[in-house]
Amino acid sequence: MTPPSEAPTITRAELERLALLSAASLDALEPMLLGCPVRKLARGETLIAVGTDNRHLYLVLSGELGVHLDSPESPPLAKLGPGEAVGELSLIDRQPASAHVIAAEPTRVLMLDEDLLWILADSSHAVAYNLLRMLAARLRSGNKIIQREREQLEQYKFHASIDALTGLFNRYWMDKMLSRQMDRARGGKEALSLLLVDVDHFKQFNDRHGHVAGDAALRSVAAAMRAVVRPTDLLARYGGEEFAVLLPGAQLPNARDVAERLRSSVHSTTIEHFDGTPLSSVTVSIGVTQMLSESTLEAFVEKADRALYRAKNAGRDRVEPAD
């Protein structure tokens, strides 16, 4: 650790640059500040460590400090240059430091102990006002960090529920929605229907055209179905070449109509390779069921799955209702 310097090395210009002393009378305050130690920090040296007690306000005279929340090796959350201050929060609330403060380059800081800080605040209205402004700015910065973290969390949740290839929701999301919609339908005595959609002969399509073309086919199928369903319908890629469509409020005849429109939309969709080359079209088979007495998500899906296999066995490119 580099010790504080023995002799004052502060210039008047450096004092005038300090935000804590903005609009204050330097002639009255300078004699008190000239006796304060100046600490010199080498690049990478820690000024404040998380969990330590801090009894100083540090005013940056030259160089740059980085504020690191997680660990000293993490990217700095903020950078503090000449004129700025650090350490005021732990100094005022007397709680252990909540961040690492590390020199990003050779840095000099003026060290104000807590007794002197309060003497300066009592002596100068400007110093007291500037200290309040510093605290307010730190709180605002903390609020921005919290908001940014919330937004990032929402993004993580969003991406965790979205299938990257098709842009549809994924099975994880659909299973959650299935359970919720089943409870809602029971409580409100409302109809609820489910479609399971499977692309016919998809393995052969991949073998013939390649996996890149297979991805293009799945995106085209997703787009064709998205264009048909209502805004209130819930559409997801359920796994591989299988899709699920949940139809709140739809009884079985209405669900069959929706399934036929989906099947027709996919059948008439032109699939293009990434270079614009037309590919052979694909078809889908669809199993349709309405929730009646099913008590579990698994039983509901199983009934639609049996209908889907009947559609496959009956020749594909068709819709089959559940028993």
> pLDDT exceeding 70 applies to what percent of the chain?
91
Highest mean pLDDT (candidates 21-25, 138-142, 304-308): 304-308
Q: Is residue 30 annotated as part of the catalytic site, yes or no?
A: no
Residue 5 is predicted with a pLDDT of 44
Q: What is the model's pLDDT at position 136? A: 77
Q: What is the pLDDT of residue 157?
A: 57
Among the listed ranges 59-73, 102-116, 138-152, 200-214, which one has the minimum average pLDDT value? 138-152
pLDDT for residue 151: 64
What pLDDT digit, counting tens, does each position of 257-315 carry? 999 999 999 999 988 877 778 888 899 999 999 998 777 899 999 999 999 999 999 99
At position 140, the amino acid (one-letter code) is R
Average pLDDT of the residues of the chain? 88
Q: What is the per-residue pLDDT for 11?
A: 87
Determine which helix (DSSP H) or strand (DSSP E) holds 107, and give its type and residue range. strand 107-113
Least confident of 35-39, 92-96, 169-173, 190-194: 92-96
Per-residue DSSP letters for 212-261? HHHHHHHHHHHHHHHTTS-TTSEEEEEETTEEEEEEET--HHHHHHHHHH
23: left (phi over 0), alpha (psi -120 to 50) or beta: left
Q: 105 and 64 in contact (C-beta within 8 Å)?
A: yes
In terms of CATH, what superfamily is 171-321? Reverse transcriptase/Diguanylate cyclase domain (3.30.70.270)
pLDDT for 47 beyond 50: yes
* Confidence band of 244 (pLDDT split at 50, 70, 90): very high
For residue 270, the model assigns a pLDDT of: 87
The CATH fold of domain 12-153: Jelly Rolls (2.60.120)
Q: How far apart are CA 302 and CA 305, in angstroms?
A: 5
What the block records as the tokens of 172 is 């994880």
Does this model's pTM top 0.75? My answer is: no
* Predicted pLDDT of residue 315: 94
Between 274 and 165, name the one with better pLDDT: 165
| pLDDT above 60 (res 6) | no
Domain boundaries, the chain: 12-153, 171-321
pLDDT at 106 over 90: yes
d(CA 200, CA 315): 10
pLDDT band at 156 (very low <50, low <70, confident <90, very high): low
pLDDT confidence of residue 7: 45
pLDDT tens per residue, range 113-133: 989 988 988 889 998 888 888
Give the active site residue among 14, 88, 241, 294.
241
pLDDT at position 152: 64
